[in-house]
A and B are shown apart, each in its own frame.
Chain A
Amino acid sequence: MTKDIYPILIESLQVVTVLVASPLLVGWIRVLKCWSQGRSSAGVFQPFRDISKLFIKETVLAENASWIFRATPYIVFGATVMAGAIIPVISVDLPLSATADIIALVALFAIARFFLALAGMDIGTAFGGMGSSREMMVSSLAEPAMLMSIFTVSLVNSSTSLSQMALVLTSNPIVLRPSLAFALLAFVLIALAENGRIPVDNPATHLELTMIHEAMILEYSGRHLALLEWANMMKLFLFAAIGIACFFPWGIALKDNIGMLPAAFILLAFKLALIGVFIVVAETVLAKMRIFRVPEFLGSAFLFATLGMLSYFILE
């Protein structure tokens, strides 16, 4: 009986973790950022306050908004939660993980982005259209590089299922693999671009003309905006989780081992905290690049991923 219910419990626990921990991660990054700039911060719980404030607020819709504009927040949120259900965050024992592999995961993010870009253009303001076109430029370059980088990890672990990949990596002795090092480097660059972090996009800017992600959601308000903001925080969290699962899975709870969960949580928090430090250091020492440098940036990500794959065949 317990054996049957255990995976479902893990799955539910995982979804709740993604929903709750993602605003915490963003809150942690903002706190670090404030410290690095010599400001006092609003605390790690500020994103929760922001989201709940937005849920209370009235939702204003443009007169010419179509169903796409209204449906997009739910589609984006839904797709992101779905992605959160298949990435192993605390345990590799995820029943839903078997339903979708890494390619399906990339496709889930693509669906969310597709609707977001449509919604950006739906209202017909200049900013939304600009944001959508820039987002498409970034994603058309980021997606192939992302697949390339993950495929390298798949080759090493002989699977495209994230749970399986994490499992293989943890159960084998630690070996330094040049292919994984290249893949990790590529993944970091892609994750920064996909999540609209500096140096690709500035999540904190108020300058409409420079925005990418923010420009697409400029016309959203109230609960719609709350869902989109939350989904965006989850996306950052999930990219961190993919990175951990692919490159640093040690400590994750294994199959049928509920006793490992507390340690898995602590280790996860520790890894995320480190990732937060890394993001803040990068965002402090780098300025945002000119938008036409982004293709070069993502081009080098693709190059690293390819090098990773090549070195797997040549060296390993």
Chain B
Amino acid sequence: MNGKIQNLIRDITGKGAVSTDASVKGAIACEVEKTAFSQAARILKEAGFRLMAEWASDETFFGRGYAVYAAYNDGSDYLVIKSALPPGEPSFPTLTRHFQGAYRLERQIDSLFGLTPAGHPDLRPWIKHEDWPAEAYPLRKSFAASTAMPRVEREYKWAKASGEGVFEIPVGPVHAGIIEPGHFRFQAVGEDIINLETRLGYVHKGIEKRFESLSWDEAARLSGRVSGDSTVAHAVAFCMAAEEASGCVPTDRARYLRAVMIERERIANHLGDIGAICNDTAFAFLHYQFSILREKVLRTNLRIFGHRLMMDRVVLGGVSADITGEGVAAVLAELNEVSGEFERLVRIYEDSPSLEDRVFGTGVLTPEAANALGVVGFVARSSGQKLDARLQNPFPPYDRFVPRVPLLRSGDVHARAWVRIEEVRDSFRLVKEMLGELPGGPLASEWVRPLPEQSGFSVVEGWRGEIVYWVQCAPDRGINRCMVRDPSSMNWLALEQAVRGNIVPDFPLCNKSFNQSYSGHDL
């Protein structure tokens, strides 16, 4: 712990001595009075920290009431502030005054836990739709997951715009393409968007609740299904949180293979995304060409790791799939072929003025807005925010093979496409270098369950951005609470800001350039 953090903790707790909560592993944690919860946010905001996640936990089984947590980050410092809520007082001070990103996280806590963020400007339900009974709080321990819910007739209150020529366009939740469900409501004048309100939660599956009834091994498999396109990164994030809590250290070879799989997942998804962005401008040629490249990568995954998306290849303590010498050669051969082809396609992207005309200046997320909303991942990096968990919180081998993180400031569709292009290039390099120095040894170390009340915090840079997990061990050494924060939870709000002032027919293009996960957000 450095001096800066010590001073901050003194400021936050108001005590002379630096006292931290040792039960939280993977980040520096300290507990404050409920009243100081938002005070801490103000102090940290002034110190340049950003809010990463905010969540609650039902700690009844430890003989306490509820607790709220907020995680902050600045550079490589990760700080978790915890406040216990006395039983009978289900409310806590809101952080929205200091961090806009807390807006939906707190609505979520309010909806699913029934803990009210006092002072929050908008307490409409979030994720839990109004046709649930208002008093049903699924994440409370007193709520049995098997409870059958009656359907209630109530309506969601949308933001309204009025004026001459203002009209509303409701889109979704079921869309024409093969994508996940989400409802978008535009207020528009002519073709100009004056406001967009998204409403999500249509794929709420109760994943966080489900974690609590699973064994650790099953939970690792579940984490790989939070957001299917990001299965490796989610599984690594969960396993790292669990390993932090238990003190289990994965083997070197496992860490390298995890990193290789994360990078291959990044390559495959970015390839698909760059093509999809082109497709939304009706430039179908690049779409199909990039799809072919993505398919090649996935087929190699199937051959080497036994699964196209590498699902369930990350397990507690290590990995379950090894790579042989032949496998390494096959991956390197594939990389050579794919990267050559990739460069050719990027040149076509650069040399097509009609395509550039669509992507430049469209859907701009300004660096100021990106900073205020606390966005993460490639969305942040294309709006001037230098955030990448591989640099800030590197797990081996990222400490040796340092990613070259691209940074753009224009924040438009092109920036989000170009950051992906640069990341694909860098991931090609990282995979090559890591495979070149792959250490030997066993695939996994022995997994031991954490001790009761121990919790682990982890941050992993998936292809979409920073994935945060916090997992807390129950008295019976099962899972008491597993908090999942997909990058989408922070970035969905940014989409609403980015499309404002654009024209309606450009929305699909903007949306594709963000390509956020519905499943990872709705949980």
Find out whether the CB atom of B285 lies under 8 angstroms from the CB atom of A36. Answer: yes
In the complex, chain A residues whose CB is within 8 Å of the CB of B357: 287, 289-290, 293
Chain B: which residue is nearest A39 at the CB level?
B288
Cα–Cα distance between A290 and B504 once the two chains are bound (Å)? 10
Indicate if B177 sits at the interface (CB-CB under 8 A): yes
Q: Quick check: which of B163-171, B463-471, B477-485 contacts chain A, the rest being far away?
A: B163-171
Instruction: List the A side residues contacting B506 at CB < 8 Å.
Output: 290
**A38-B288, A126-B168 known; A199-B354 Cβ under 8 A:** yes
Chain A CB within 8 A of B282 CB: yes
Give A126 to B281 CA distance when docked, in angstroms: 22
Q: Across the interface, which residues of A come within 8 angstroms of B352, CB to CB?
A: 285, 287
Q: Is B8 an interface residue (CB 8 A)?
A: no
B176 within 8 A of partner (CB) = yes
Contact A204 B284 (CB under 8 A): yes
Closest CB in chain B relative to A168 CB, distance in Å:
38
Contacts of B288 in A (CB 8 A): 37-39
**Is A64 at the interface (CB under 8 A from chain B)?**
no
**B507 A37 Cβ-Cβ under 8 A:** no
Residues of A contacting B287 with CB < 8 Å?
Answer: 37
Which residues, 278 to 293 on A, are CB-close (under 8 Å) to B? 283-293
- Interface size of A as a range: 20 to 34
State whether B354 touches A207 (Cβ < 8 A).
no
When the two chains form their complex, are residues B176 and A207 in contact, meaning their CB atoms are under 8 A apart? yes
Distance between A145 CB and nearest chain B CB, rounded to angstroms? 21
Complex interface: chain A residues within 8 A of B285 (CB): 36-37, 284-285
Is A208 an interface position by the 8 A CB rule?
yes
A201 to chain B, nearest CB (A): 9
Knowing A130-B504, A287-B283, A291-B191, say if A208 contacts B171 (CB, 8 Å).
yes
Task: Decide if A8 is an interface residue (CB 8 Å cutoff).
Answer: no
Q: Which of A38, A283, A286, A291 contacts B505 (CB 8 A)?
A: A291
Contact, CB under 8 Å: B358 / A209: no
Number of A-B contacts (CB under 8 A): 80
Which residue of A130, A204, A290 is within 8 Å of B358 (Cβ)?
A: A290
Interface flags for B178-193 (1: CB within 8 Å of A; 0: not) read 0000000000000100
Q: Given the known inter-chain contacts A210-B508, A288-B358, please indicate yes or no for A205 contacting B282, CB distance below 8 A.
A: yes
A36-B168 Cα distance, complex, nearest whole Å: 39
A198 at the interface (CB under 8 A from B): yes
Q: CB-nearest residue of chain B relative to A36? A: B285
Do A287 and B169 have beta carbons less than 8 Å apart? Answer: no
**Nearest-Cβ distance from residue A39 to partner chain B, whole angstroms:** 6
In B488-523, the 8 Å CB interface with A consists of 503-508
Among the listed B168, B171, B284, B503, which residue makes an inter-chain contact with A291, where contact means beta carbons less than 8 Å apart?
A: B503
Determine the residue in chain B with the shortest Cβ distance to A126.
B169
Which residues from chain A contact B175 at a C-beta distance below 8 Å? 206
Q: Are A209 and B508 in touch, CB under 8 angstroms? A: yes
Interchain CA distance A98-B382 in the complex, whole Å:
63
By beta carbon, the residue of chain A nearest B502 is: A290
Q: In chain A between 231 and 274, which residues have their CB closer than 8 angstroms to a CB of chain B?
A: none
Distance in angstroms between the alpha carbons of A287 and B287 in the assembled complex? 12
| Whole-angstrom CA separation of A291 from B358 in the bound complex | 10
B29-54 Cβ-contact flags toward A at 8 Å (1 or 0): 00000000000000000000000000
Q: Which residue, A205, A284, A290, has most C-beta atoms of chain B within 10 A?
A: A290
Please measure, in the bound complex, the distance between the C-alpha atom of A285 and the C-alpha atom of B170, giving whole angstroms.
33
- Determine how close the nearest CB of chain B comes to the CB of A285; give it in whole angstroms: 7
Q: Is A202 an interface residue (CB 8 A)?
A: yes
* Bound-state Cα–Cα, A127 to B176, Å: 12
- Kindly identify, within residues 352 to 398 of chain B, every residue whose CB is under 8 Å from any CB belonging to chain A: 352, 354-355, 357-358
- Chain A neighbourhood of B130, CB < 8 A: none
Minimum CB–CB distance for A85 against chain B, Å: 33
Write the chain B residue with the least CB distance to A284: B285
A289 contacts B191, C-beta separation under 8 Å: no
Contact A209-B171, Cβ < 8 Å, known A37-B288, A287-B357: yes
**B11 on interface, CB distance cutoff 8 Å:** no
Question: Is there a chain A Cβ closer than 8 Å to B23's Cβ?
Answer: no
Report A-chain residues with C-beta under 8 Å of the C-beta of B292. Answer: 38
CB distance from A51 to the nearest CB of B (A): 21
B280 at the binding interface (Cβ < 8 Å): yes
Taking a contact as CB atoms under 8 Å apart, the answer to whether A286 and B354 are in contact is yes
8 Å CB interface, A61-93 against B: none
Distance of A285 Cα from B281 Cα, bound (Å): 12
For the complex, give the distance between the alpha carbons of A284 and B355 in Å.
Answer: 11
Q: Does B300 contact A (CB under 8 A)?
A: no
Q: Which of A10-57 contact B (CB under 8 A)?
A: 33, 36-39
Which chain B residue has the least Cβ–Cβ distance from A207?
A: B508
B contact residues around A38 at 8 Å (CB) = 288-289, 292
Residues of A within 8 A of B505 (CB): 209-210, 290-291
Does B176 lie within 8 Å of A206, measured CB to CB? yes
Q: Which residue of A lies closest to B278 (CB)?
A: A287
- B117-132 interface (Cβ within 8 A of A): none
Alpha-carbon separation in the docked complex, A233 to B289 (Å): 28
Distance of A287 from chain B, by nearest CB (Å): 4
Query: Considering the complex, which residues of chain B in the window 266-301 have a beta carbon less than 8 Å from any beta carbon of chain A?
Result: 278, 280-285, 287-289, 292
Give the chain A neighbours of B191 by CB distance below 8 A: 291-292
Within 8 A of A (CB), among B189-215: 191
Q: Which residues of A contact B508 (CB under 8 A)?
A: 207, 209-210
A93 to B223, CA, bound (A): 73
Within the complex, the shortest CB–CB distance from B335 to chain A, in Å, comes to: 21
Chain B residue with Cβ nearest A208: B176
Which residues of chain B are near A205, meaning CB under 8 Å?
282
User: Could you say which residues of chain B place their CB within 8 Å of the CB of A33?
Assistant: 284
Q: Which of B146-180 contact A (CB under 8 A)?
A: 167-171, 175-177
A158 to chain B, nearest CB (A): 39
Which A residues touch B504, using CB under 8 A?
130, 209
Bound complex: CA of A130 vs CA of B171, how far in Å?
Answer: 13
Contacts of B170 on A, CB cut-off 8 Å? 126
Q: Smallest distance from the beta carbon of A235 to chain B beta carbons, Å? A: 20
Q: Which 10 A-B pairs have the closest CB atoms?
A: A288-B282, A202-B282, A287-B281, A206-B176, A37-B288, A287-B355, A207-B508, A287-B283, A126-B169, A210-B505
| Known interface pairs A126-B169, A205-B282, A209-B507; 10 further A-B residue pairs with C-beta atoms within 8 A, sorted by A's residue number | A38-B289, A38-B292, A204-B284, A206-B177, A207-B176, A209-B505, A287-B355, A288-B283, A290-B505, A290-B506
Q: Could you list some 9 contacts between A and B, CB below 8 A?
A: A127-B169, A130-B504, A205-B282, A207-B176, A285-B352, A285-B354, A286-B282, A287-B355, A288-B282
Q: What is A's interface to B at a CB cutoff of 8 Å?
A: 33, 36-39, 126-127, 130, 198-199, 202, 204-210, 283-293
